Amino acid sequence: MNNLHKRVVISLLLLLLAGLFMLLLNLFFGSVTIHPKEVISAFLGHSADIAESRRIILYEFRFPQAIVAIVAGAGLAVAGLLMQTLFRNPLADPSILGISSGASLGVALALFLAGSFSGQAAVNMGWFTSIGLSMAAFAGALMVLFFLLMISGRIKHVVTLLIIGIMIAYLTGSLTGLLRYYSQKEDIQAFVIWGMGTFSGVGSAQLPFFTGAIMLGLFVSILLSKSLNMILLGDRYAQNLGLNIKFQTRLILLLAGYLTAIITAYAGPIAFIGLAVPHIARNLFKTSDHRILIPASMLSGAVLALFCNLIARLPGLDGNLPINSITSLIGAPFVIWVMLRQNKQSILES
Amino acid sequence: MKEMLKLNKLVIGYASSKKDAKALMPPISVSMNSGDLVALTGPNGAGKTTLFRALSSNILPLGGEIFIDQQNMRKLHAREKSALLSIVLTDRIGDQYMKVSDVVASGRYPYVGIWARLNKLDRQIIDQSLHLAGIEALAARTLQSLSDGERQKVMIAKALAQDTPLILMDEPAAFLDYPSKIALIRLLKTLSSEHNKTILFSSHDLDMIISNVDKIWLMAPQKPMISGIPEDLLASGKMNDYFGIPYQLAHTVFDYAGLSSPKNNSVCVHGVGEDYNWLRHALRRKGYAVSETKGDIVLRIADGKYILSDKQVISKFDTLEKLTNEIDKYF
């Protein structure tokens, strides 16, 4: 028992080290290579040792971007884990309830309304900045979340909720399509770019708010470990062990929705991390215990997001590829590999 | 004897709205004592699962009360209920990484804090539960790698770890082969007779339950539930009536009746016919040696009554349940 405990702690530490390593790589490499020495001295407060331009790149761009990647990666991974456990479905992810398509609808609606009232493309108006898009996305996501919470009380079976969520995703998706059809060309482009996802959309002014809000959600998720373990046993066993299923279901929905809404508002609808990372965490730690899976998912999510962020800069290190494509490009083969490996193991076992 | 489960005019069924409630059967008033092993049986659609759902607070009864260990279930919190009643289902649970030890440990969840930290006592109880269920060797295995019979034992070990006086089992024998069924019923008998667990389980396996349980709760759609020892329900023809087909004790290859621990006393029964067969069956199920010629007491049947006689007294009984209770006291 104790050995097992030690192994878990060591594995978590290794993941943390991998995360730190990825963070440093994210700070070093880019259109301008910043020497490790400079990075370290900058963080130790010897700003005199580093040129002003590089200091700005580091503080204003690379560092906030890396932090957003870490926080968003961890948050999406946990939101995905919550959904997979709540629905006891390995294909569930943060977008499955239509919360991120709600965010898309919010953005499309805001662009459309601003565009049609002013008669010109919304993006050409000075005030319609990325903050405006974030607010619109957040409002759209919350709208869907509140609707789900409202109906969750009337629903007996969690599968029904899942199906309703998927229907909402279709509904908002088609509304988004209609709005785009009637929108200005420039606005459509802005929408497409938003939909590609980015970790650089959070300015350093909003960084503390974004980080704090997600950290709060992550902390609450840790408090839910025991409830999640019970839910994995099925509703009837969970209830018999003293769990208030209705209340916990709402709490998990609220938490996953909260994380997804905030992250999608700032970073766009980032695919795949929420689906893939819980599988990676389970496979790395060979456990179904959420007391281990939650921190493992946070760390794995952060590492994967940092890695994707680095890859997105790759073409000559000065590129800015859409994160959404990169996450799937890297994540999908990885998950296939994990699944095949697992399949081989179970054949050997049987 | 202590009353462990009592149903007082319990009405079960489903209500689509408050006005439109459909009761599955007349109100149920029945009880079981501490340490009893009782089987719930009846044809499909009789309401066994509905009754179990009501007992485990998964659905609300339409009326009446459930008392477990003298406490009204309507007045208890989920946490308090979880210390009185544990359940064993046939649902497949968990993902491919869930371990036997995790599942059994979850039986301690009602007693541990938010971090699910187990103390020394919790660990002791978990080890004991694994031992009682006979699955210590499986503790590190994943649930998915087990057979149905082994998985059933894991869920029983979880219920034991939950440390409740009452255990409900929904169709525990449903997916088991004969050896696993015998192992299961042996385990249930040990738990009830030696560890004072009160166990109510549903089953369609009449051969198995008739020879092994203390009582049967018999149900059929729209009929009142009746409770009695197996032989009474058979001898009186109730079993045939509720199932709608005649039942005869099959002489199966596996002798379930041989599972009872034998007693030293012998009983003399001579007589032939169906009624005498059930009388002998009831005695053997209780572990008494039945002889044709000699015994500490003599039993016979006359005018539909069971007559017990020894050197001094003669007493008459309406049912086998009353007779066997008297014999238990006698020795």
3-state SS of A187-200 is HHHHHHHHHHCCCC
Q: pLDDT value at position A348?
A: 46
Query: Does position A272 have pLDDT exceeding 70, yes or no?
Result: yes
Question: Could you tell me the CATH superfamily of domain B260-330?
Answer: Anticodon-binding domain (3.40.50.800)
Query: Does position B80 have pLDDT exceeding 90, yes or no?
Result: yes
Q: Specify the DSSP class assigned to residue A61.
A: I
Q: Give the residue among B324, B331, B300, B296 at the shortest CA–CA distance from B311.
A: B296
What is this model's ipTM? Answer: 0.88
Which of the pair, A225 or A100, is modelled with greater confidence? A225
Measured between alpha carbons, how far is B189 from B176 in angstroms, rounded to an integer? 17
Measured between alpha carbons, how far is B82 from B276 in angstroms, rounded to an integer? 44
Q: pLDDT value at position A165?
A: 87
Q: pLDDT value at position A122?
A: 63
Sheet with B63-68, edge to edge strand ranges: B28-33, B3-11, B63-68, B71-72
Lowest mean pLDDT among A41-45, A102-106, A246-250, B107-111: A41-45
Query: pLDDT-based confidence at B233, cuts 50/70/90?
Result: very high
Query: Does position A17 have pLDDT exceeding 90, yes or no?
Result: yes
Nearest CB neighbour to A236, from listed B56, B102, B114: B56
Q: Are B157 and B130 in contact (CB under 8 A)?
A: yes
How far from chain centre, in Å, is Cα A97? 14
How far from chain centre, in Å, is Cα B197? 10
Q: Are B228 and B217 in contact (CB under 8 A)?
A: no
SS3 A253: helix
Q: pLDDT value at position A345?
A: 56
The DSSP annotation for A227-241 comes to HHHHHTT-HHHHHHT
Measured between alpha carbons, how far is A282 from A8 in angstroms, rounded to an integer? 12
Task: State the CB neighbour count (10 A cutoff) for residue B319.
Answer: 17
Q: Are B163 and B104 in contact (CB under 8 A)?
A: no
Are the Cβ atoms of A232 and B115 closer than 8 angstroms?
no
SS3 B324: helix
Query: Does position A322 have pLDDT exceeding 80, yes or no?
Result: yes
B102: which residues sit within 8 A by CB, 6+ positions away?
A229, A287, A288, A289
Query: pLDDT-based confidence at B93, cuts 50/70/90?
Result: confident
Are the Cβ atoms of A288 and B102 closer than 8 angstroms?
yes
Measured between alpha carbons, how far is A337 from A333 in angstroms, rounded to an integer? 6
pLDDT for B164-220, tens place per residue?
A: 999 999 999 888 888 889 899 999 999 999 999 999 999 998 888 988 999 999 999
Q: Give the residue among A146, A100, A144 at the shortest CA–CA distance from A250.
A: A146
Q: Give the residue among A134, A98, A68 at the shortest CA–CA distance from A308.
A: A68
Query: Does position B131 have pLDDT exceeding 60, yes or no?
Result: yes
Sheet with B289-291, edge to edge strand ranges: B289-291, B266-269, B297-302, B305-309, B314-317
Which of the pair, B16 or B241, is modelled with greater confidence? B241
Query: pLDDT-based confidence at A131, cuts 50/70/90?
Result: confident
What rounded mean pLDDT belongs to chain A?
A: 86
Residues of A with CB under 8 A from a CB of B: 90, 223, 225-226, 229-230, 232-234, 236-237, 239-244, 282, 286-289, 291, 342, 346, 349-350
Q: Which residues on B lie below 8 Å from A242 (Cβ)?
A: 77-79, 81-82, 109-110
Q: pLDDT value at position B36?
A: 95
Contacting B residues, span 115-174, partner chain A, CB-CB under 8 Å: 115-116, 144-145, 158, 162
pTM, full prediction: 0.89
Query: pLDDT-based confidence at A127, cuts 50/70/90?
Result: low
Residues of chain B with CATH 3.40.50.300: 3-243
Query: pLDDT-based confidence at A350, cuts 50/70/90?
Result: very low
pLDDT for A324-336, tens place per residue?
A: 888 888 888 877 8
Query: Does position A193 have pLDDT exceeding 90, yes or no?
Result: no
Query: pLDDT-based confidence at B152, cuts 50/70/90?
Result: very high
Which of the pair, A187 or A249, is modelled with greater confidence? A249
Query: Does position A208 have pLDDT exceeding 60, yes or no?
Result: yes
Lowest mean pLDDT among A174-183, A254-263, A301-310, A318-327: A318-327
Q: Give the residue among A56, A57, A63 at the shortest CA–CA distance from A23.
A: A63
Measured between alpha carbons, how far is A263 from A184 in angstroms, rounded to an integer? 26
Measured between alpha carbons, how far is A108 from A111 in angstroms, rounded to an integer? 5
Measured between alpha carbons, how far is A144 from A164 in angstroms, rounded to an integer? 11
Name the residue of chain A whose CA is nearest to B141's CA: A349
SS3 B56: coil
Q: Which residues on A lie below 8 Å from B114 (Cβ)?
A: 223, 226
From the CA of A228, how many Å to the nearest CA of chain B? 11
Q: Give the residue among A271, A212, A206 at the shortest CA–CA distance from A73.
A: A271
Query: pLDDT-based confidence at A36, cuts 50/70/90?
Result: confident
Q: pLDDT value at position A128?
A: 57
Is the CB of B223 inside 8 Å of chain A's CB atoms? Answer: no
Query: pLDDT-based confidence at A349, cuts 50/70/90?
Result: very low
Q: Specify the DSSP class assigned to residue B75.
A: G
Mean pLDDT of B245-250: 69
pLDDT for B276-319, tens place per residue?
A: 888 888 888 888 888 888 888 888 888 888 998 887 788 899 89
Q: pLDDT value at position B273?
A: 82
Q: Could you give the maximum distance between any two Cα atoms of chain A, in Å? A: 68
A54 Ramachandran zone, left/alpha/beta (phi>0; psi -120 to 50):
alpha
Q: Are A220 and A50 in contact (CB under 8 A)?
A: no
Angle, CA A190 vertex, CA A185 and CA A191 arms, to 5°: 95
Percent of chain A with pLDDT over 90: 39
Query: pLDDT-based confidence at B253, cuts 50/70/90?
Result: very low
Which of the pair, A196 or A45, is modelled with greater confidence? A196
Are the Cβ atoms of A226 and B103 closer than 8 angstroms?
no
Query: pLDDT-based confidence at A192, cuts 50/70/90?
Result: confident
Lowest mean pLDDT among B33-42, B245-254, B276-285: B245-254
Lowest mean pLDDT among A182-186, A306-310, B193-197, B202-206: A182-186
User: Domain B3-243 has what CATH class?
Assistant: alpha beta
Which of B96, B143, B147 is the best mutation test for A, with the most CBs of A within 10 A? B96
Q: pLDDT value at position A119?
A: 67
Measured between alpha carbons, how far is B258 from B131 in angstroms, rounded to an integer? 24
Percent of chain A with pLDDT over 70: 89
> What CA dihedral angle connects A218, A224, A229 and A231, to 10 degrees?
-110
Query: Does position B251 have pLDDT exceeding 80, yes or no?
Result: no
Measured between alpha carbons, how far is B284 from B290 in angstroms, rounded to an integer? 7
Residues of chain B with CATH 3.40.50.800: 260-330
Measured between alpha carbons, how far is B276 from B281 in angstroms, rounded to an integer? 8
Tokens 């009554």 — which residue? B305
Mean pLDDT of B26-34: 94
Are the Cβ atoms of A225 and B97 closer than 8 angstroms?
no
Domains, chain A, ordered by start: 2-349 (1.10.3470.10)
Length of chain A as a residue count: 350
Which of the pair, A55 or A246, is modelled with greater confidence? A246
Is the CB of B40 inside 8 Å of chain A's CB atoms? Answer: no
Q: pLDDT value at position A2?
A: 60
Q: Give the residue among A200, A212, A301, A195 at the shortest CA–CA distance from A262.
A: A212
Nearest CB neighbour to A288, from listed B95, B114, B145: B95
Token output for B26: 């007349």
Measured between alpha carbons, how far is B139 from A15 in angstroms, rounded to an integer? 28
Measured between alpha carbons, how far is B167 from B81 in angstroms, rounded to an integer? 12
Query: pLDDT-based confidence at B250, cuts 50/70/90?
Result: low
